Amino acid sequence: MSEDSRLATSICGIALRNPVLAASGTFGYGVEFASQVDLDALGGLVVKGLSREPIEGNPPPRLLETGGGMINSIGLQNIGVRAFVKEKLPDLSKLRTAVFANIFGYRMEDYVEVVRVLDDHAGLAAYELNVSCPNTTHGGIFFSSDPALLSEVVSAVKRVARRPVVVKLSPNVSAIEPLAQAAESSGADAISLVNTFVALAIDPHTRRARIGAGFGGLSGPAIKPIALRLVCQAARAVKIPVIGLGGIANGEDAAEFLIAGASAVEVGTATFWDPASPARVAAELGAFLRSEGLGNVRDLVGTLHL
């Protein structure tokens, strides 16, 4: 059996060459990496977050390397959904790999409008909702931390979306299960987790934050054990598929997330030092399957003995 056939899988009815996707926010709009990576070798790619209007992002510095990870505070900088469909989507639509559009907003109407715009254009497989934003119409309560608010935005998007909807959950909550279940009960086709952990780095000499906006989001290998725990808990709380991410840097990392209950994974921070890391991780995962004598990657999913 070939490596490709071992890795072939699907999620939300979307066929994937392999279960390794490039994560949102770390792979640009995908097309920027075409000269460095065979984009069709990826299981899929998730474009950086798209908003109703362009956003300039946070003041620099925006990135900081930490022990075992990275803090970022990009501020969801993007060109806006209308510029995306005009400037980026035509090239993306030529790919054979599955393209997921990550979307976000500060009101439910923002999410709905972005989906309405994207629904009118070919070239996308699904939407990934970034719910780690404060709802400005509800006093700044984060969509990701309130099950009722999360249900409202997921339901609103599902009423208009013509494609599957994946809800990307934040780890910055006291319990992940109620949020995962709220997404499922509101019609989400899958969930993905985790987003970054709120973090702070300080320069002891200046006594100032090392990130321009103050707090940032911690990602990378340092968060993997916590991300694995949250993925396991979420996968056991819902029946819809789970996409796991958080510190995946090699094939065995990916296997661990699948064993914890994920049906697919996303690779993010690793692309900063190895732009081809999603394809490499997939190849290493294939080698792991061969070494374990497994016929298909689905044989790993949810096999954790706990």
In a domain, residue 69? The reply is no
In a domain, residue 39? The reply is yes
pLDDT higher than threshold 60 for residue 3: no
Which residues contact residue 281 at a Cβ distance below 8 angstroms, ignoring those fewer than 6 apart?
20, 248, 249, 250, 251, 253, 254, 265, 267, 270
pLDDT higher than threshold 50 for residue 120: yes
pTM of the model: 0.96
Cβ burial, residue 142 (10 Å; 0-12/13-18/19+)? middle
Residue with tokens 């299960």: 177
Among residues 76, 74, 71, 75, the alpha carbon closest in space to that of 202 is found at 71
Percent of the chain's residues with pLDDT above 70? 99
Q: Residue 246 CA to chain centroid, in angstroms?
A: 9
Could you give the CA distance from residue 247 to residue 170 in angstroms, rounded to a whole number?
Answer: 15
Any idea which residues carry the catalytic annotation? 133
What mean pLDDT is predicted for residues 4-23? 96
225-280 residue pLDDT tens: 999 999 999 999 999 999 999 999 999 999 999 999 999 999 999 999 999 999 99
Domain count, the chain: 1
pLDDT recorded at residue 135: 76
What mean pLDDT is predicted for residues 165-171? 97
Provide the CATH number for the domain around residue 126: 3.20.20.70
Q: Are 295 and 3 in contact (CB under 8 A)?
A: no
What mean pLDDT is predicted for residues 29-50? 95
In a domain, residue 211? The reply is no
pLDDT higher than threshold 70 for residue 174: yes
Please indicate whether residue 85 or residue 138 has the higher confidence score (pLDDT). 85
In a domain, residue 202? The reply is no
In a domain, residue 241? The reply is yes
Q: Which domain holds residue 18?
A: 3-58+75-195+219-300
- Report whether the peptide linkage leading into residue 61 is cis, meaning its omega lies within 30 degrees of zero: yes
In a domain, residue 51? The reply is yes
In a domain, residue 210? The reply is no
88-100 residue pLDDT tens: 999 999 999 999 9
